[in-house]
């Protein structure tokens, strides 16, 4: 990824930031929170993610042919007054739209999720926090985690940081992640590429996944 500010980018590169991790040998694709509450612009947490969905779907198509593991995530709250969201519910009122059993927590139908593609149900930003996701990846001996979904500055970023901390090669697909605010999206991609992940293109990702097909 190219830094969006040449002077700032040069400063970071001179200090050794933004080195390339590179794809590994055993990938999995994670689609983060592309659910009704986030893809409906009329809802408090929603925004237009049409292009993100299109690009994510193109990656899923290749991953499915190559038999690469695919995971989805969603947020779901079951307790009265969404107490299971903890302090986060104080910070974000829109979490009330993420009640268990409602259409808002379902994966967007345009992605055509298959029954063999697990959904990781979480309460907080990172897909790793409070879930069995890392155990699932270790069982499959995954070393590369390809991230798509939303939001870049929230759940994508939190998951990427945790993924690195768990020893994974994290790849954030820049055209396949989105946010409600462009500045937040761009700054998060800058930070992720500088310190925690490789920010890669859809084409790079698909070319890599195509090579996984046996």
Tens-place pLDDT, residues 148-180:
999 999 999 999 999 999 999 999 999 999 999
Strand partners, 29: 70, 146
Q: Is the pLDDT of residue 3 over 70?
A: no
Compute the average pLDDT of residues 117-126: 98
Confidence of residue 15 (pLDDT cuts 50, 70, 90): confident
> For residues 189 and 166, what is the distance between their CA atoms, to the nearest angstrom?
20
Predicted pLDDT of residue 10: 78
Choose, from 60, 142, 155, 194, the residue flagged as catalytic: 155
Going by DSSP bridges, is the β-strand pair 198-200/169-178 parallel, antiparallel, or unpaired? parallel
C-beta of residue 55 within 8 angstroms of C-beta of residue 173: yes
CATH class of 24-210: alpha beta
Average pLDDT, the chain: 94
Taking each helix axis as running N to C, give the angle between helix 157-165 and helix 182-195, from 0 to 180 degrees, rounded to the nearest 10: 10
Predicted pLDDT of residue 214: 57
Has 150 been annotated as catalytic? no
């Amino acid at each position: 990824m190219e830094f969006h500010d040449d002077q700032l980018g040069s400063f970071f590169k001179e200090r050794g930031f933004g080195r390339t991790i590179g794809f590994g040998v055993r990938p999995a694709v994670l689609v983060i929170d592309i659910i009704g509450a986030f893809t409906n612009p009329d809802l408090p947490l929603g925004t237009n993610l049409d292009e993100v969905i299109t690009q994510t779907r193109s990656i899923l198509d290749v991953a499915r042919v190559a038999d690469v593991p695919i995971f989805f995530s969603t947020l779901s709250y079951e307790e009265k007054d969404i107490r299971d969201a903890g302090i986060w519910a104080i910070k974000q009122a829109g979490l009330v739209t993420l009640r268990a059993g409602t259409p808002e927590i379902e994966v967007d139908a345009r992605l055509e999720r298959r029954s063999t593609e697990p959904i990781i149900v979480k309460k907080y930003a990172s897909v790793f926090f409070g879930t069995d996701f890392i155990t699932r990846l270790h069982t499959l001996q995954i070393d590369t985690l390809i991230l798509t979904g939303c939001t870049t500055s929230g759940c994508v970023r939190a998951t990427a940081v945790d993924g690195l901390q768990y020893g994974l090669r994290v790849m954030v697909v820049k055209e396949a992640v989105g946010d409600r605010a462009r500045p937040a999206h761009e700054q998060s991609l800058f930070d992720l590429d500088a310190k925690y992940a490789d920010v890669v293109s859809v084409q790079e990702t698909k070319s890599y996944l195509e090579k996984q097909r046996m």
